[in-house]
Amino acid sequence: MALLLILVPLAFAALAASIPSNRLRPWVLPVGSGVQLWLCWQAIHATTPVAWKGWLLLDPLGKLFLIVVSLLHFVCMIYAPPYLRLRPERNNRVLCSCLLMSLSVMTLVITSAHLWLMWVAVEASTLVSAPSIYFNHNPRSIEATWKYLLICSVGIAIALLGSFFLAYAALYAGLESTLSFSDLVGEAPKLSKPWLHAAFVLLFVGYGTKMGLAPMHTWKPDAYGEAPGLVGALLAGGVTNCAFFAILRFHQLLNAAGELAFSRKIMVLMGLVSIATAAIFMMRQRDFKRLLAYSSVEHMGILVFGIGIGGAAIYGVLMHVINNALTKGVLFFSAGNIHRAFASKRIDDVHGAMAILPLSSMLLLVGFLAGCGSPPFGPFISEFTIFTATFAAGRWVVGSLFLVLLMIVFVGMGITVLSVVMGKPSQAPNETVFRDSLSTGGPAALCLALVFLLGIYMPESLRTLIVDGADFLEPPKAVAQAEPNATPIAKLERP
């Protein structure tokens, strides 16, 4: 089963590459992604462990991330055929193949039981995503592609150096060198602490670059601004979540080594830096697709900040992984539709979109409210959980700063979004051919419906996945020994 999760998308990628018709090829995407989503559902509910020869393993944390990535990918693939039908001038063979290969390598990141295999998978996700960013074949898209490749490759190289440091932490302590996660966690208390700390810093910077944390985020505005909307959604809700998953693996390792405080301090600091950077660049942002890139920088900061707080905030973080991925689908699909209609991303050229594209404009407006943590949507619940856990832990200063920065983000993002959707149209309705339809607006509406549902009701099966993942990341017994006053996650009621 574990191997099938990786091989099935690759098989459909080969099928897509072999189909000569530009018109028929995109329909392989929802079929292939749907089959993989079904396999993912079967794997999550399997009665026996999903593993393969010590290289692949689907653990409780991996189950949550796998269902999130697979669901978002499926929704993006539903959006792909109608989008590509509007782009007959572009050959979509490379794009279709890369989209399916991206699903395969993201699954490999999540199921990897070996540090080296995970590193290879993260690097592969960079390589297969790059051609998708270049789909528009213009000077700005090739610049964005090279910037994405170069910056992320530097980050991955730093992560490789961190892996070497981690292996040496075992050698220095007189242990046998290993890169198996289960072996590393078992031997964690014996690892050399200075080398372990150095390894974590390098791994955090390396995978944090791929995640898009500030100040390693500089590839995001160009890549998200120039990539098609569905590619931006996959980058923001899929690829970056895989990089975050890799960071969580090493946070778990430090927890096993009794060095939880070390990793938490770094994560709180870098989370606040990332949110603050996004808040600064969102103010008076003139490009609404680049605005979504800074929104992603902000939400990556929220995830890391919550892990740094720990305790009940872990539950909020894992909820936010789901909510952020779905919200990014709403924002990128609707922003892509508006960009398609106006042939511009700058608010100097785009305003009054509500009169021309009422569905996409309404989805962008409501998606902005959801993404900024407004009730009754899911991000409100997850961000509120992180916020209350921060104050419950007595972190009044960082909690207050966290809240102030979120307010600045709300104002900055709101100014740009309202400028796009409200006011007098910058084009007459008959000057643009593109119009809203169920096929182009439906996937965004589906994501928004799910985000709304998670704000008012959480299925018990999903809550179990979140709690199991949180307990696996920071086992209650280990946390209780380090923090006697911490609230066990398993005993939390849903906020």
Q: How far is CA 9 from the centre of its chain?
A: 19
CB atoms within 10 A of CB 487: 17
Which amino acid belongs to residue 145? T
State residue 483's pLDDT score.
52
pLDDT one-digit tens code per residue, 247-263: 999 999 999 999 999 99
State residue 479's pLDDT score.
53
Q: Give percent above pLDDT 90 in the chain.
A: 80
Q: How far is it, in rounded angstroms, from Cα 186 to Cα 178?
A: 11
State residue 485's pLDDT score.
47
Label residue 484 by pLDDT band (50, 70, 90).
very low
State residue 477's pLDDT score.
56
Q: How far is it, in rounded angstroms, from Cα 345 to Cα 361?
A: 14
Label residue 482 by pLDDT band (50, 70, 90).
very low
Please check whether residue 19 is in contact with residue 31, taking contact to mean a CB–CB distance below 8 angstroms: no
Label residue 41 by pLDDT band (50, 70, 90).
very high
Please check whether residue 223 is in contact with residue 133, taking contact to mean a CB–CB distance below 8 angstroms: yes
State residue 488's pLDDT score.
47
State residue 11's pLDDT score.
96
pLDDT one-digit tens code per residue, 50-82: 888 889 999 999 999 999 999 999 999 999 999
Q: Is the pLDDT of residue 300 over 50?
A: yes
State residue 428's pLDDT score.
54
Residue-averaged pLDDT of the chain: 91
Label residue 495 by pLDDT band (50, 70, 90).
very low
Please check whether residue 76 is in contact with residue 443, taking contact to mean a CB–CB distance below 8 angstroms: yes
Q: What does the pLDDT average to over 415-434? A: 77
Run of H or E including 169: helix 139-172
* C-alpha distance from residue 31 to each of 39, 100, 129, 229, 450 (Å): 12, 10, 20, 20, 21
State residue 173's pLDDT score.
83
Q: What does the pLDDT average to over 237-248? A: 95
Please check whether residue 283 is in contact with residue 407, taking contact to mean a CB–CB distance below 8 angstroms: no
Q: What does the pLDDT average to over 32-59? A: 91
Run of H or E including 479: helix 476-482
Q: How far is it, in rounded angstroms, from Cα 198 to Cα 275?
A: 25
Label residue 423 by pLDDT band (50, 70, 90).
confident
**Could you state, in order of their start, the residue ranges of all structural domains in the chain?**
1-113, 129-258, 265-495
Across the strands, what pairs with 114? 180
Q: Is the pLDDT of residue 265 over 80?
A: yes
State residue 351's pLDDT score.
86
Q: Is the pLDDT of residue 489 over 80?
A: no
| DSSP letter (8 states) at residue 3 | H
Q: What does the pLDDT average to over 315-339? A: 95
* Strand intervals (E) in 263-389: none
| Torsion sign, CA atoms 27, 30, 34, 40 | positive
Secondary structure of residue 304 in the 3-state scheme:
helix
pLDDT one-digit tens code per residue, 124-167: 999 999 999 999 999 999 999 999 999 999 999 999 999 999 98
Q: How is residue 494 written in tokens? A: 């849903």
Q: What does the pLDDT average to over 311-332? A: 96
Q: What are phi and psi of 422, to 5 degrees?
A: -100, 170
* C-alpha distance from residue 43 to each of 1, 68, 367, 478 (Å): 7, 14, 31, 28
Which residues, 6+ apart, have CB-to-CB distance to 323 below 8 Å? 377, 378, 379, 381, 382, 451, 454
Label residue 89 by pLDDT band (50, 70, 90).
confident
| DSSP letter (8 states) at residue 347 | T
